[in-house]
Amino acid sequence: MRVILREFYPPVNPGRFSEQDLSQISGTDNPRVAQIRRQAALIDTQIDQEVRRIASVLENETRALESRTALLTQALERAGGQSEMETQNTVELRELERIAEAYRSRYERYLNNAGLAAELQTFASSGTQVVKSANFPTAPIYPPRKVFLVLGVLFGVAVAIFSIMMKEALAKGYRSAGQVERDLGIKVLSTLPEADFKYNGTGALQAEPFSPFSEAISVLRQRLRLNAASLSTQSHAPLLLVTSPEEGDGKTSVSAAVAASASSAGLNVLLVDGDLRYAGVSALFDMDGGEGLSDVLRGRTWLPPTRLGKCVLDVMPAGNLDGSQPADLLESRYLAQFLKSARTTYDLVIVDAPPVANLADSLILSDICSDLVLVFKAEETSKDAVRSALKRLPEAKIAGIVVNFVDPDDKSGRWMNAQLYSTSRIGTAGVYQLGNVGAENKSERRRGLADGAA
């Protein structure tokens, strides 16, 4: 500090030297000298005051800097010590937390044990007795097996019923008699079982009169009221027309079987082969190639027998077409004359008509018949074909439906009388599955039919 103050004195010394020089020159009484001395003394005083002020300021600043330096040094020392202390404190804190967690777990176990002991003590002091100690379950409580078993059975039954309904709805043909009646609104007269053996002509009913097929034909005849008691009150014999939606449904078999059954019951029956195209009845009775209905329809005179006995079964074959159109022949006026004469001679007249599909023959014959029966195959003839055939036939004359080729071992009862009580289990429906239902006869045209005739 003293070194700093000394730096202010050199500028003053030249003035002092001037004052001495002036005193030597002018003397001590010179006013100018006195004035210079006063000025010099004033300047020295001001300089001294200013120097002291600056020295005081610098001293204060120096002390402040020294204090700040000391504070910063202490702060750095404290910061280094606190960092080490914090690291150590963190480690100790983690250790204390682990110890506290362990003590807390022990304390909770202690409280649980204490609570259980208190409950047991309260239970014992309340007078309650333990009847039976609790045991560990040996079987699962959930899921309840019985409930799920019952639900599974019910679900299976529902799925089965739904599957059956869908199968019946999507099936090509009808699968039960009830389905036929519900869908068509027409009663099923009889269901004829499928056969295993084949006979010629009408030998089936004679060979196996108690077979399921023979019994089914009897059921059909009774439901058509084709018996002596019912027909004795009528002035004219009924004219029964038997047809089918498509070929191969077995209509010729049914026509021949009903005629044979009615004949064996004491009626005089005339079976007319109205299928001029394929002549199934003619082939069945081995009468193909001779004169028949076609000749009568051209004007050939037909003389009914003058005397008939009982149980007579006569057959009118189809005859030869000789290139004529079957529909044109059936529209002849001779058809009505022939059938009228036949109805006055016989007790029953059955006409085996062609299939309804795409032919006008059955429609012509249906106009002059008294009753009509539609025959189709079980589960094979399409539903659309059956519905289409019924729409084309006169509804008022439809006596009912006959379902053919039913499984003879049908145990579900879907086809009602397919399983009848009988003394023989030999199927004989095949006896009448000849003629126009055979595969060899389905596409063969009648001899004499013109190639251009439809």
**φ and ψ of 271, to 5 deg:** -100, 115
Region 397-420 average pLDDT: 75
Two tokens, residue 23: 């005193």
364, burial (CB in 10 Å: exposed 0-12, middle 13-18, buried 19+): buried
Q: How wide is the angle at C-alpha 268 spanned by C-alphas 266 and 273, nearest 5°?
A: 130
Q: pTM value?
A: 0.58
CA-based nearest residue to 343, from 269, 412, 287, 278: 269
Class of residue 191 by CB neighbours under 10 A (exposed 0-12, middle 13-18, buried 19+)? buried
Confidence of residue 411 (pLDDT cuts 50, 70, 90): low
CB burial of residue 150 (10 Å; 0-12, 13-18, 19+): exposed
> For 76-119, what is each residue's pLDDT tens digit?
777 777 777 778 888 888 888 888 888 888 888 877 877 776 76
DSSP 213-275: HHHHHHHHHHHTT-SHHHHTT-SS--EEEEE-SSTTS-HHHHHHHHHHHHHHTT--EEEEE--
Q: Note the Cα 400 to chain centre separation in Å.
A: 36
| The pLDDT of residue 211 | 78
- 25, 19 in Cβ contact below 8 A? no
Average pLDDT of the chain, as a whole number = 78
Residue 180 reports pLDDT greater than 50: yes
Query: Given a cut of 60, is residue 14 above it in pLDDT?
Result: no
CB atoms within 10 A of CB 184: 17
